[in-house]
Amino acid sequence: MIWDLHCHLNGIPGRTPDEKMARLIEVADRMQIERLVLFMGAPFLIAPTPEQFREQNDQVLQAISHWHHRAFGFVYLNPEYEQESLQELDRCVKDGPMTGIKLWVAKRCDIASVDAIVRRAIELKAIIYQHTWLKTTGNLEGESTPADLHALASRHPEASIICGHTGGNWELGIRTIRDLPHVSVDLGGGDPTAGLVEMAVRELGASRVLYGSDVAGRSFASQLGKVTAAEITPEEKQMILGQNLRRLMSPILQAKGVRL
Amino acid sequence: MIIDVNVSLSRWPNRRLPLDETPKLAAALKQNGVSQAWAGTFDGLLHNDLAAANKWLVDQCRSVDEKLLLPIGAINLSLPAWEEDVRRCYELHGMKGVRLLPGYHDYTLEDPRFRQLLSLLAEKHMLLQIAVRQEDPRTQHRLLMTKDVDLKPLLTLLSDFPNLPVILLNAVSSSAVELHGQLAAAGKVYFDIATLEGLAGLERQVQSLPSERLLFGSHSPFFAFDSAKLKLQESELPAPRREQITHLNAVKILSDL
Ligand SMILES: [Zn+2]
């Protein structure tokens, strides 16, 4: 069972979200990927206005509308706009089908409005996916580091938080968030560097490690290959490839009455 | 059948890799259906005694699996008497080609020594590999930062060396699509798929580069081998094209030398 935590419509050929989604599913089928989590629309917007993130979320809602048996959506928010983000969270998660939140690089996650979003997410049982990178070449102004995420997550032990890209520089990312059992790591969106999965499993335990691809910027292949080639047990691979994400999502799916 | 043109032996400078011991790497390659791997050495990145590094590489290939591992010597054009390393690779070790790692050796392809090397290789009927990158600059060690190799100067040189195979390793990405097409048109320039990304990336790649110029390369053991292998599953290619990429193009490069 493979569930992909991290997919985008951006970069997929197609004139509409429906066309892009059909292509995404076609390729996912070749890789035996059963379920996909989608967030953000096309094009990528680093600092979307409320109007823009609503439009981007509409694209995802449209894309998953015919694929509820295959795909989930996370709502894209910009913490620069706290009230509008909280309203959008309600629209897409409380009153809509989405199951998590995506925070990208508009603002670093150490600001107060992110705490407000996380508190609401906890009430809704929504998963919080925060992009993190620690770039040797220098981060974007609003780009969170694993340390920023650690500070946020430390204040919210009851939240379910995912450290995006395992911090990019994963040896540092893993060490940074190791002591927070409610923080999982997303393996996706970086080169298929050997040793990443082994270290993550060794330091965090397989239950905190999640397969995600970051298609269409990445391929399914390069990201699945990290897991399939890793020197870990078959049981650990199963957890990483799908079981962990299913477990993390089960509280909100149950609350929504979604049966798997 | 797979010929993997992008493999390295020895140790990555700042990390132990699961397959950085030759017998273990060789076993994994075989298990994945690789019948031949063109193996350079990570020692080529930072060692100055490349004669010793290349001798070690040849000894490793011979002692572990001579049929599987085809040694590709490291050359650093910034070193004194680099021509002697080329001579030894050819005469002493019988190598089919050499690999450049310009990002770690502080010269550009505009350097006159690069043209000299092309002449030497053309004369000896050897192939050239240029590693455009080894690692994403964003994850490099802060004290070992290096940029991708600028390939533009190669474009003007190729017409003088129409028969020299030039294999660009870890070059493929969404940027530089236009330049890569020009390079492929200007000479016998090939690209490996180790850094190819995108949804069904190979299907997209064969639209901008002819499949005659694509080679299977994994960048093992730095990358997980399965990454390259699964790209063949993610894209639907007609069997003849797919076989060009997995091994036929590589076989032809060697037989045409
Ligand atoms: Zn992403």
Check residue B174 and give its pLDDT: 67
User: Does residue A260 form part of some domain?
Assistant: no
Strands A71-77 and A33-38: parallel
Check residue A107 and give its pLDDT: 97
User: Does residue A124 form part of some domain?
Assistant: yes
Distance of CA B92 from the midpoint of ligand 1 (Å): 49
- Cα nearest neighbour of A230 on chain B: B224
Q: What is the ipTM of this complex?
A: 0.96
User: Given the structure tokens 């390079």, which residue do they identify?
Assistant: B183
Check residue B175 and give its pLDDT: 74
- Cα nearest neighbour of B204 on chain A: A13
Mutate which of A21, A191, A214 to test chain B, going by most B C-beta atoms within 10 A? A191
Tell me the average confidence (pLDDT) per consecutive run of 10 residues in chain A, 260 residues long: 98 97 98 98 97 98 97 98 98 98 97 97 98 98 98 98 98 98 98 98 98 98 98 98 98 94
CB contact under 8 A, B225 and A225: yes
Classify A48 as helix, strand or coil: coil
Cβ proximity of A173 and A148 under 8 Å: no
Per-residue pLDDT tens for B58-113?
999 999 999 999 999 999 999 999 999 999 999 999 999 999 999 999 999 999 99
How many Cβ atoms sit within 10 Å of the Cβ of residue B217?
A: 31
- Check which CATH number belongs to the domain holding A225 and give it: 3.20.20.140
Check residue B176 and give its pLDDT: 86
Alpha helices in chain B (DSSP H): 22-31, 43-46, 50-65, 82-87, 112-124, 152-157, 177-186, 201-208, 225-234, 239-243, 249-256
Check residue B109 and give its pLDDT: 98
Tell me the average confidence (pLDDT) per consecutive run of 10 residues in chain B, 257 residues long: 98 98 98 98 98 98 97 98 98 98 97 98 98 97 95 97 98 87 97 98 95 98 98 98 98 98
Distance of CA B82 from the midpoint of ligand 1 (Å): 44
A223 vs B contacts (CB less than 8 Å): 227
CB contact under 8 A, A133 and B224: no
User: Does residue A147 form part of some domain?
Assistant: yes
Q: Does A187 touch chain B (CB under 8 A)?
A: no
Please name which of B44, B102, B101, B93 lies closest in space to residue B70, comparing C-alpha atoms. B93
B141 vs A contacts (CB less than 8 Å): 136
CB contact under 8 A, B16 and A226: no
- Check which CATH number belongs to the domain holding B121 and give it: 3.20.20.140
Domain carrying residue A85: 3-255
- Which tokens in the block code for residue B84? 């002697």
CA separation for the pair A174, A203 (Å, rounded) = 7
Distance of CA B238 from the midpoint of ligand 1 (Å): 31
Total tally of structural domains belonging to chain A: 1
CB contact under 8 A, B139 and A190: yes
ω into A43 cis (within 30 of 0): yes
CA separation for the pair B192, B8 (Å, rounded) = 14
A195 contacts: CB under 8 Å, gap ≥ 6? B15, B16, B17, B18
Cβ proximity of B169 and B256 under 8 Å: no
Q: Name beta bridge partners: B34.
A: B2
Distance of CA A104 from the midpoint of ligand 1 (Å): 8
Total tally of structural domains belonging to chain B: 1
CB contact under 8 A, A192 and B236: no
